[in-house]
């Protein structure tokens, strides 16, 4: 099997494993269960007037929701991305596509990332692994990925523990911060950084913002654990054992947000990592996030149809508004600045 076929098979394997296997971290949650809204029995808000629109990447969007970077590179991935793009356009979600490395290495796969024609007005984010900056990728390759996606920004994903277990993994993460900083200075579009399920702490987020990063997606622990995903692909007994040993590592998504807020990071903050409904999204925004990202929890609908996705997106938005209604928040700005969220066990 050549390198191109290997990448395509890996992408296909990821989809099937995430759909069919238990790949959550073990003994760790998102942490949102530790936070509760203080119910306002008299909210002084007309539910029909609650607004959840925001601005992101210089575009006005109807919701603060993001499709977290998931897939691309295979025929099934194209179907998924097609459905996601149509639903995102209709419901006003921002859309992060999967890693574009496959399209650079095999241009025949580029069409699986080309979703702009289905989503002409929403923010779209191209994606590549930050570690690839140590394996031959530079500004030209990043620009190629952005151009083929017709993206509004580029996100660099950090996935060190996934690469460690992945059979084809790249594990040289030395010197990446400086390369990211240099890319920020010379790139023509905003650049973000995201984890893939182990979280970003407050000190690192602050340092990234100071280096020129425009947005940080914490992608915390409590959802998909990519060492578990790669364990299902590996035949190496050592790597499989290590994957189990590290399955409880990471920073819960909620705690990433709290830590970043305490460290006064200044930039757009995205909360993803195990979010399953609009109430958890509301908690994330109340804890400091600007957007809430959903990934594997919407994958089944993405495989089914754009109509199934639209129905799910409608439900998530309604759940968000219900949580806002319960505390009397009429806008996302009011939700972000609410004092009506407490850690469970603390005094109201």
Q: Is residue 104 part of a domain?
A: yes
Which is more confident, 320 or 9?
Answer: 320
Q: Is residue 33 part of a domain?
A: yes
Residue pLDDT, tens place only, 61-98: 999 999 998 877 788 889 999 999 999 999 999 999 99
Q: What is the mean pLDDT of residues 319-343?
A: 97
pLDDT of residue 346: 59
pLDDT of residue 70: 80
Residue pLDDT, tens place only, 19-64: 888 888 889 999 999 999 999 999 999 999 999 999 999 999 999 9
17 pLDDT band, cuts 50/70/90, is confident
Q: Is residue 241 part of a domain?
A: yes
pLDDT of residue 56: 98
The answer to whether residue 5 scores a pLDDT higher than 60 is no
Tell me, what CATH number does 11's domain have? 3.20.20.70
Q: What is the pTM of this model?
A: 0.94
What the block records as the tokens of 144 is 């190629």
Residue pLDDT, tens place only, 225-281: 889 999 999 999 999 999 999 999 999 999 999 999 998 878 999 999 999 999 999
Q: Domain tally for the chain? A: 1
Q: Is residue 348 part of a domain?
A: no
The answer to whether residue 335 scores a pLDDT higher than 70 is yes
The domain in which residue 103 lies consists of 3-343
pLDDT of residue 8: 67
């Amino acid at each position: 099997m050549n390198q191109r076929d290997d990448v395509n098979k890996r992408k296909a394997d990821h989809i099937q494993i995430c759909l069919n296997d238990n790949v959550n971290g073990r003994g760790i949650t998102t942490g949102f269960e530790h936070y509760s809204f203080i119910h306002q029995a008299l909210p002084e808000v007309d539910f029909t007037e609650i607004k959840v629109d925001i601005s992101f990447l210089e575009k006005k969007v109807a919701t603060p929701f993001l499709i977290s970077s998931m897939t691309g590179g295979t025929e099934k991935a194209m179907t998924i991305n097609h459905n996601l793009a149509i639903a995102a356009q209709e419901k006003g979600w921002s859309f992060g596509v999967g890693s574009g490395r496959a399209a650079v290495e095999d241009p025949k796969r580029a069409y699986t990332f080309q979703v702009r024609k289905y989503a002409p007005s929403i923010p779209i984010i191209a994606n590549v692994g930050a570690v690839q900056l140590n394996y031959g990728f530079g500004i030209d390759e990043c620009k190629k990925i952005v151009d083929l996606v017709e993206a509004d920004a580029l996100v660099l994903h950090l996935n060190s523990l996934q690469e460690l277990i992945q059979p084809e993994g790249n594990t040289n993460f030395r010197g990446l911060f400086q390369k990211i900083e240099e890319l920020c200075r010379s790139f023509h579009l905003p650049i973000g950084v995201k984890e893939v399920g182990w979280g970003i702490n407050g000190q690192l987020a602050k340092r990234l913002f100071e280096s020129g990063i425009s947005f940080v997606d914490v992608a915390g622990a409590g959802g998909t654990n990519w060492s578990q995903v790669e364990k299902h692909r590996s035949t190496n007994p050592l790597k499989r054992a290590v994957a189990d040993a590290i399955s409880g590592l990471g920073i819960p998504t909620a705690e990433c947000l709290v830590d970043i807020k305490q460290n006064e990071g200044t930039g757009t903050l995205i909360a993803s990592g195990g979010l399953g409904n609009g109430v958890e999204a509301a908690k994330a925004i109340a804890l400091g996030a600007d957007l809430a990202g959903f990934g594997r929890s919407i994958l089944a609908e993405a495989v089914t149809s754009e109509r199934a996705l639209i129905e799910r997106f409608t439900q998530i938005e309604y759940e968000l508004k219900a949580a806002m209604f319960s505390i009397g928040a009429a806008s996302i700005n009011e939700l972000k600045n609410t004092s009506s969220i407490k850690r469970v066990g603390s005094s109201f």
